[in-house]
Amino acid sequence: VDNLAVICCELGCWLMHISTDYVFDGNSTAPYLELDKTNPQGVYGHTKLDGELAIQSSGCKYLIIRTAWVFSEYGDNFLKTMLRLSETRDQLGIVNDQIGGPTPAAAIAAACYAIAGGLLSGSGGAGIYHFSGMPEVSWADFAAEIFAQSGRQVTITEILTQDYPTPAKRPLNSRLNCDSLKEQFGILRPDWRTGLEQLCKDIEVN
């Protein structure tokens, strides 16, 4: 990130960087604003915050987009994990006390494209912005919608975070206030259920 930011600074071009809700500790009871205090709880969050700070101190023209709960047909993500597990299991325990806005990767790409157009036309401005899908749900709710749209018969048992320990501490509150992106660039939060519906069709075809 440091080298890329320096190059962008030398060329006078914009740097668009994707960051994460993990820069926060997840203890807030409200959706996080861009200026809320950061307090990452793990290595991933710390490294993402370090990247943000390096970009901001580089002197380049930057736009940092924090997002959460990203899913797509590629790589490892919650959607693909649920579909894989449903092939061999008909009952799963899913966490229900972590809340966030699932975000289709395609929606992030579309937002970046729209932002780039806005910057070139002189609208919007540099800084940090939040972008995530709506409505906000728990992982259990997200899983239920995945199984419903993919036609998988899986019974979900709702559990607490403490019942499913992971190496990386996950925020209980991953909700992001996305009003600034709407105000500056006119970009609305995507309905993740629409993106999920298309992905389930694409995955089924492939």
Cα–Cα distance, 74 to 3 (Å, whole number): 27
Cα–Cα distance, 65 to 76 (Å, whole number): 21
Q: DSSP of 8-77, one letter per residue?
A: HHHHT-EEEEEEEGGGS-S--SSPBPTTSPP---SHHHHHHHHHHHHHHHHTSEEEEEEE-SEE-SSSS-
The band of 203, judged by pLDDT with boundaries at 50, 70 and 90, is: confident
Residue type, 129: Y
Q: What pLDDT is stored for residue 184 in this prediction? A: 93
* Predicted confidence (pLDDT) at residue 205 exceeds the cutoff of 70: no
Closest alpha carbon to 133 in 176, 94, 164, 171:
176
Length of the chain equals 206
* 113-122 tens-digit pLDDT: 999 999 888 8
Quick check: is 44 catalytic? Answer: yes
The pTM of the full predicted model, rounded to 2 decimals, is 0.93
The band of 80, judged by pLDDT with boundaries at 50, 70 and 90, is: very high
* 12-46 tens-digit pLDDT: 889 999 999 999 999 999 999 999 999 999 999 99
Residue among 22, 44, 62, 74 flagged as catalytic: 44
